[in-house]
Amino acid sequence: MSSDLPPPAAVQMCYEGLNGSCVKTSYSPGPRVILYIVFGFGCVLTVFGNLLVIISILHFKQLHSPANFLIASLAGADLLVGITLMPFSTVRTVESCWYFGEGYCKFYSWFDGSFCYASIFHLCFISIDRYVAVTDPLIYPTRFTISVSGICIAVSWLFSLGYSFSIFYTGANGVGLEELVSALTCVGGCPVVVNQNWVLVNFMLFFIPTLVMIVIYSKIFLIAKQQARKIERMSNKPEKSSDSYKDRVAKRERKAATTLGIAVIAFLISWLPYFIDSIIDAFLGFITPPYIYEILVWWAYYNSAMNPLIYAFFYPWFRKAIKLITTGQVLRENSSTINLFAE
């Protein structure tokens, strides 16, 4: 007796004909192309945007300041996200398979944690730098020197790389979850699970610097408001040249603090949902659907493309630097001495 029921659709595998291969969830051609375009654009924007930030700060001598070196190092973390994580995540998200081997899967997890924590520690040190600059702009250059900036950069990178290596590359994140890891392991997969102990440590390493930044920037904006009122009261009074210079410096530092405060807010909005979900997953048995997880990951990754856009919108010197770089004028002799702050 014949049946009118359609035959069951063939199950696609990441590696056809290979025992132990992961099941592949394919998109139709249209959505697949759209996803590759969206994620590919994010990769390009992240790489070239942060590369422009790094080149600008390192090339133009006028930008050689402790705060800007911290910004350049932060851009380095975002640049590495665009190089070592986003292209591979693009393929994993669209194809639902990991085609880059078990070895790079470990590196991928290590890099993921490292660059996230490097970014948040850089932002925390930048907030401290801005606090000193706004509260005492004339003494600031003697307190936050190039050497101090270098120490902050070294601490951010060494701690982030060392901590993430000790968890993800050594496999400590999966201790106590061996059965789950075994069930999730297949050829063409790159499962990353974190047990309850380490997920709490991870969240605290995100939450504590975040709390510090919120407190510092709240104080910065309160001080900036007080300074603005003081300047307004004194606007009709004759002032000494030293007071005028101090006011100009304070205004510049407040503007820089505002811009970097926006960068901090963007970082928190991008990464907070991911960290909250990681805690929910660890304590409720990893219930997050794969597509929700991918959305949260990419929402966080796109933060690496945000900072150059923020700088371009708020910093006229960065827009001028971009023009000089993209038109090749930086290749001219003595281009490093160009005044980027000229009216």
Mean pLDDT score, 88-116: 92
Burial of 295 (0-12, 13-18, 19+ CB in 10 A): middle
| AA letter at 58 | L
Burial of 318 (0-12, 13-18, 19+ CB in 10 A): buried
> Helices marked H in 136-177 — which ranges?
140-143, 146-164
Q: Is the predicted pLDDT of residue 230 greater than 70, yes or no?
A: no
> How confident is the model at residue 232, as a pLDDT?
61
Note whether 263 and 306 are within 8 A (CB). Answer: yes
Q: Is the predicted pLDDT of residue 271 greater than 90, yes or no?
A: yes
Q: What is the rounded distance in angstroms from the CA atom of residue 12 to the CA atom of residue 23?
A: 6
The structure tokens 């919120």 sit at 214
Q: Is the predicted pLDDT of residue 203 greater than 90, yes or no?
A: yes
Q: Is the predicted pLDDT of residue 1 greater than 50, yes or no?
A: no
How large a percentage of the chain has pLDDT more than 70? 88
Count Cα atoms within 13 angstroms, Cβ side, for 276: 8
> How confident is the model at residue 2, as a pLDDT?
47
How large a percentage of the chain has pLDDT more than 90? 50
> How confident is the model at residue 44, as a pLDDT?
96
> How confident is the model at residue 253, as a pLDDT?
63
> How confident is the model at residue 228, as a pLDDT?
66
Q: What is the rounded distance in angstroms from the CA atom of residue 309 to the CA atom of residue 263?
A: 10
Local structure of 179: helix, strand or coil: helix
Structural domains in the chain?
29-331 (1.20.1070.10)
Q: What is the rounded distance in angstroms from the CA atom of residue 171 to the CA atom of residue 181?
A: 11
In eight-state DSSP terms, residue 335 is G
* pLDDT tens for each residue of 176-201: 888 888 888 889 988 888 999 999 99
Q: Is the predicted pLDDT of residue 76 greater than 50, yes or no?
A: yes
- The pair of structure tokens assigned to 16 is 């056809």
> How confident is the model at residue 4, as a pLDDT?
54
Supply the mean pLDDT for the chain: 86
Q: What is the rounded distance in angstroms from the CA atom of residue 169 to the CA atom of residue 108?
A: 9
* pLDDT tens for each residue of 119-146: 999 999 998 998 888 888 788 888 889 9
Q: What is the rounded distance in angstroms from the CA atom of residue 155 to the CA atom of residue 54?
A: 19
